[in-house]
Amino acid sequence: MSETIRASLQLDAELIRSAQGGDREAFGRLILRYARRIYRAVYFIVRNLEDAKDITQETVYRAYRSLERFDPAKPFYPWLHQIARNLSLNYIARAEHRNVGLPEEELIASRMVDPEAVAIRSEEAASLYRAIDRLNPDHREIIMLKSFGDCSYAEIAEILGIPIGTVMSRLYNARMKLKSILLRENAK
């Protein structure tokens, strides 16, 4: 484990202990360290900005309520991610909220200026999402955790409950599969 990761885990543990002792500022700092990653992981599942914001907020609330029972010796992000994942999956399981299509292109577009660049990037994003959606669930999830959740191998291992060696081989196979899907798409 690198020094940076060790220091980060140590900081988390300190913030968790303070938050468990009632320090709300510490809880805010702790969440702020991971909020963006959580939002991205949620967005990847629900594919809607407002829903992703709501679920991220709900994740923060649930974490706050359950923090007392969390063991500070354990890594925090996998636990937080699991809350967000459960909430997101429960959300899309409800038929009235089902929305797993392509991302909101108009929102992506709104962040860019050049119309041509907007069109190219929207098509590129759509093509990538289509390819990812064609992966099997295990491969899709590991790609999501690595590329969008920005998880380390150790965090992925903790979240999925598998050894790091399996994380590496599954991630590699998922990438190879994704690459071949993208190649086939481009050839069309």
**145 makes contact with other proteins (CB under 8 A):** no
CA distance 125 to 100: 14
**134 makes contact with other proteins (CB under 8 A):** no
**100 makes contact with other proteins (CB under 8 A):** no
Tell the smallest beta-carbon distance from residue 57 to other proteins (Å): 5
Tell the smallest beta-carbon distance from residue 86 to other proteins (Å): 5
Instruction: Show contacts with other proteins in window 69-88 (CB under 8 A).
Output: 69-70, 79, 82-83, 86-87
**17 makes contact with other proteins (CB under 8 A):** no
Q: Are 156 and 146 in contact (CB under 8 A)?
A: yes
For other proteins, the closer CB: 2 or 188: 2
Tell the smallest beta-carbon distance from residue 61 to other proteins (Å): 6
**27 makes contact with other proteins (CB under 8 A):** yes
Tell the smallest beta-carbon distance from residue 187 to other proteins (Å): 16
Tell the smallest beta-carbon distance from residue 13 to other proteins (Å): 16
Q: Which 3-state string (H, E, C) describes the chain?
A: CCHHHHHHHHHHHHHHHHHHCCCHHHHHHHHHHHHHHHHHHHHHHHCCHHHHHHHHHHHHHHHHHHHHHCCCCCCHHHHHHHHHHHHHHHHHHCHHHCCCCCCCHHHHHHCCCCHHHHHHHHHHHHHHHHHHHCCCHHHHHHHHHHHHCCCCHHHHHHHHCCCHHHHHHHHHHHHHHHHHHHHHHHHC
**152 makes contact with other proteins (CB under 8 A):** yes
| Integer CA distances (angstroms), 32 to 15, 37, 57, 77, 107, in order | 11, 10, 12, 12, 24
Give residues in contact with other proteins (CB under 8 A). 2, 24, 27-29, 31-32, 35-36, 39-40, 43, 49, 53, 56-57, 60-62, 64-66, 69-70, 79, 82-83, 86-87, 90, 103-104, 107-108, 110-112, 121, 124-125, 128-129, 143, 146-148, 152-153, 161, 168-169, 171-172, 175, 178-179
